[in-house]
């Protein structure tokens, strides 16, 4: 069973709601029905996720608020601790990115993508930015992103 590791941080709950929707998508019964394979979705706060968690996962969903034109300090701490030990060991694995922002969001995307690219993770879904107040459309997009990422893993597409 492939494992999707979700690593996220949220201070005021917006990113958490996006993650909950994405995880719901990743755990959709339709994925098992269509592929015969379930995906084990592990959800960890960024401060709690470590090298071992990254090593044993088969794919990643990262989620962060945009804070001060960057990813959250918690997700940066995750990369600070895991990047070098995991480099060379996780190449080619698929990943997705969710960003919750007040009004921007692209700066957080621009902060995370080079690190994921440096790890040689594969961007199999477009990063999704939810800017401003969360809407049903944001939550639906996060759900779709989670389902697509996990569904592709279950189907062996990536
Ligand atoms: C300290 C701080 C810095 C922020 N910096 C930005 C920013 O640079 N760009 C932006 O679009 N929103 C910014 N915001 C707004 C947050 O991204 C937004 O409130 C988001 O929903 C927070 O996510 P959370 O609810 O998961 O903590 C900032 C908020 C805080 C508290």
Model confidence pLDDT, tens digit, residues 110-145: 999 999 999 999 999 999 999 999 999 999 999 999
Q: How far is the CA of 58 from the centre of ligand 1 (A)?
A: 30
List phi, psi (to 5°) of 20: -60, -40
Give me the percent of the chain exceeding a pLDDT of 90: 100
Q: Tell me, what's the pLDDT at 102?
A: 97
State which of 63, 66, 70, 76 you would mutate to test the pocket of ligand 1, scoring each by most atoms of that ligand within 8 A of its C-beta: 66
Q: Tell me, what's the pLDDT at 18?
A: 98
Q: Tell me, what's the pLDDT at 146?
A: 98
| Residues whose beta carbon lies within 6 Å of some atom of ligand 1 | 10-15, 65-69, 100-105
Given the CA of residue 65, which atom of ligand 1 is nearest to it? 23
Closest Cα partner for 118 from 71, 152, 79?
Answer: 79
Instruction: Provide the β-strand partners of residue 96.
Output: 61
What domains sit in the chain, N to C, each tagged with a CATH number? 3-155 (3.40.50.360)
**Could you tell me the pTM of the whole model?**
0.98
Given the CA of residue 15, which atom of ligand 1 is nearest to it? 26
Confidence class of residue 24 from pLDDT cuts 50, 70 and 90?
very high
């Amino acid at each position: 069973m492939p494992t999707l590791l979700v690593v996220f941080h949220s201070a005021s709950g917006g990113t958490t709601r996006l993650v909950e929707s994405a995880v719901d998508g990743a755990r959709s019964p339709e994925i098992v029905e269509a592929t015969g394979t379930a995906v084990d979705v592990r959800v960890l706060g960024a401060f709690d996720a470590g090298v071992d968690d990254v090593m044993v996962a088969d794919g990643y969903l990262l989620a962060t608020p945009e804070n001060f034109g960057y990813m959250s300090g918690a997700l940066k701490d995750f990369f600070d601790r895991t990047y070098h030990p995991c480099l060379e060991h996780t190449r080619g694995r698929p990943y997705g990115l969710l960003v919750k922002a007040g009004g921007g969001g692209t700066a957080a995307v621009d902060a995370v993508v080079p690190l994921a690219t440096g790890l040689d993770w594969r961007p199999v879904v477009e990063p999704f930015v939810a800017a401003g107040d969360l809407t049903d459309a944001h939550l639906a997009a996060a759900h779709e992103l989670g389902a697509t990422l996990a569904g592709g893993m279950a189907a062996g597409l990536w």
